[in-house]
Structure 1
């Protein structure tokens, strides 16, 4: 049997109490915060690697580009 209901329609039809719904929203916010932190830390690691490679290759333009992005990331996200 094929089920063609969208997720939104399914949630509207289900008997989800209001409290549980607000808890799900808080969980979604928390998950978003955790994922964002992971992405920022990963980007910082990428930039540090790129900076080290630029130093090894004596590539001043690449060094400045990646250092500037790293400084912006640190100013914006405090990492």
Structure 2
């Protein structure tokens, strides 16, 4: 995961006399990578939310701060990736 694909790179790869199936394969790889990144992010987010709830229940300020910080970083990364 965490591969970087740009439109220009995709068009360059497609323009190198590749067959349609090779271009489709590249596009499918891009979509698969995006999907897996999304699933991984959502799983981590749900895990962090559970850990935050647990730390609140236990009144564990240190864990709460750690998990909320990680959640904020995860959400910030998501914003940056969509810009």
TM-score, normalised to structure 2's length?
0.71
Deviations 1:10-68 (A, max 9, x none): xxxxxxx7211111010010011011101000100000000000000000100000000
Q: Which residue of 2 aligns with 1:56?
A: 57
Quick check: which has more Rg, 1 or 2? 1
Q: What secondary structure does 2:55 align onto? A: helix
Q: Which runs of 4+ in 1 moved over 4 A?
A: none
Structure 2 unaligned runs (5+)? 1-17
Q: What secondary structure does 2:35 align onto? A: helix
TM-score, normalised to structure 1's length?
0.75
Aligned length: 62
Q: Which residue of 1 aligns with 2:27?
A: 26
Give the superposed CA RMSD. 1.1
